[in-house]
Amino acid sequence: MLSTERQIERSIKAKPRGTLVFPEDFSSYGSSDAVRKALTRLEDKRMLVRVAHGIYVRPKESELVGTVLPTAEEVADAIAKRDRIRTVPSGSYALNALGLSTQVPMKIVLLTDGSPREIKVGKRSIKFKKVAPKNLLAKGKVSRLAIQALKELGNGQVSAHEEEKIIEQLRTEDIATLKHDIGLAPVWIQKIMSKALPDVTQ
């Protein structure tokens, strides 16, 4: 019978480098205490790196920069998948994701239907902000970002260039999805988003 540590080590080595793992991924290999101790030992052996509380990775290695750790965005995605929660980027993070801001936010704020919390990843942090489920109903990847980005910019504060950039990206969205999501937005945002629909004359 292999030890908890050995079983975890084998499981991690079978995954691609850069895969994020959580203690609960290994619950079948031993008690939570045994798993925690095994992960700490594997961290001491430099096989794993702890990127945040209870989140580990077997890092990728690059000849140019050495150890490559996952980004805060990748950590946020992994947490959302693990907890089966919905998330929507908001604030300056939504602006950055749409290319409206070149500034990489130090704090990623995600609206969620999961439990609220804040996780530190290196110098950056991820804040899961609990909101009413109706705020998470937008289906489109671009349109849900657009709604949050426009909210962040504010009614009457959106420049012609920003509006043009948002409309251009919204045109890549599936039309049925876009129409669905427009219906969820505040009226002033609906007016901007509707300009991306093909049957609207400019």
pLDDT on residue 104: 86
DSSP letters, 116-146, are: -EEEEETTEEEEEEE--GGGG----HHHHHH
Which position has the token pair 């949050």?
148
pLDDT on residue 65: 86
What length does the chain have?
202
Could you read off the pLDDT tens digit of each residue along the chain, which spans 202 residues? 789 999 999 999 999 999 999 999 999 999 999 999 999 999 999 999 999 989 999 999 888 888 899 999 999 999 999 999 999 999 999 999 999 998 889 999 999 999 999 999 989 999 999 999 889 999 999 999 999 999 999 999 999 999 999 999 999 999 999 999 999 999 999 999 999 998 755 4
pLDDT on residue 103: 87
Taking Cα atoms as reference points, which of 120, 164, 134, 131 lies closest to residue 146? 164
pLDDT on residue 200: 54
Q: SS in 3 state form for 82-97?
A: HHCCCEEECHHHHHHH
List the domain boundaries for the chain: 4-68, 72-135, 137-194
* Fold entry, domain 4-68: Arc Repressor Mutant, subunit A (1.10.10)
State the Cα–Cα distance between residues 165 and 172, nearest whole angstrom: 12
pLDDT on residue 2: 85
